[in-house]
Amino acid sequence: MKNLSRIPPTAEKPPDLVPRKKAAGSRRFQRKSSQTDIGNEIWLLTLTDMFMLLMICFVLLFGMSLYQQKESAVAAAPPAAAMIPVPAAQQPPPMQSASSLESELLAILANDRQDVTVERRSTHIVLTFPERIIFDSGQAEVKATVQPLLEKVAAVILNRPELVVAIHGHTDDRPIHNQRYPSNWELSVDRATQVARALVQTGIHPTKLSIKGFGEDHPLYPNDSDDNRMKNRRVEIQFFLTPSNT
């Protein structure tokens, strides 16, 4: 029994170090895997850039081929018919057309002028009717005595489809106050309208005519005398030659 008590205690086993070795090996494996992933990403980026450059090249080549085809088609197309010069006889000069119209208007006034005037301006020709021969004072009904002259004017318009006609009404500066016309502007508009209506009744299409009323705002002379005021009260028929025929 005494000998047994002297037996030294059993020494404890040292801790197992294998797991530590395994842990260190795992960290080395993770570092290698991370480096491999970075290398793969760089390779993929390079490949993507190469494909992008190839796509841009193909798009540029395709666009150049389309442009060359378009240029070839334009070069091979026959010359347009509009490029063929039109004989000069079919396009009278503007001055000649305006002079012819002015002469025609003067001819219809030769036997019955009634103080109606023809004036050639820079862009058009104006036929002016004084108030006293076409309207009663303060009224807008066209007098029967001027109807034959308006019919002759309508014939000129019908024979010249290139004409565009504007009818302008004008008054003097004396104010007007009645139930029908609150101001000179309404009177001037109604007078231009009634002249246009008389022309339409002879067969002119309404789309050939335009109407404007200016009241006392566009006088020919200063409104400082009865004679000047009488000259300012008028209706103008203005004739314009359209660009396609000038």
pLDDT tens, position by position, 129-151? 999 999 998 999 999 999 999 99
Q: How far is CA 202 from CA 82, 121, 139, in A?
A: 37, 27, 22
Boundaries of every domain in the chain: 19-75, 92-245
Single pTM value for the model = 0.61
User: Which residues make beta-bridge pairs with 166?
Assistant: 210, 238
For range 109-125, the mean pLDDT: 84
Using 50, 70 and 90 to split pLDDT, how confident is the model at 221?
very high
Contact 141, 235 (CB under 8 A): no
Report the relative pairing of strands 234-241 and 209-213 from DSSP bridges: unpaired
Distance CA 124, CA 10 (A): 135
List all residues 6 or more positions away from 146 whose beta carbon is below 8 Å from its beta carbon. 114, 129, 133, 134
Write b or e for each residue in 159-177: b if 16 or more Cβ atoms lie within 10 A of its Cβ, otherwise e: ebeebebbbbbbbbeeebe
Q: What's the CATH number of domain 92-245, 3.30.1330.60, 3.30.200.20, 3.40.50.720, 3.40.50.300?
A: 3.30.1330.60
- Segment 3-35, tens digit of pLDDT: 444 545 555 555 554 455 454 455 555 555 555
Cα–Cα distance measured from residue 186 to residue 139, given in angstroms and rounded to the nearest whole number: 11
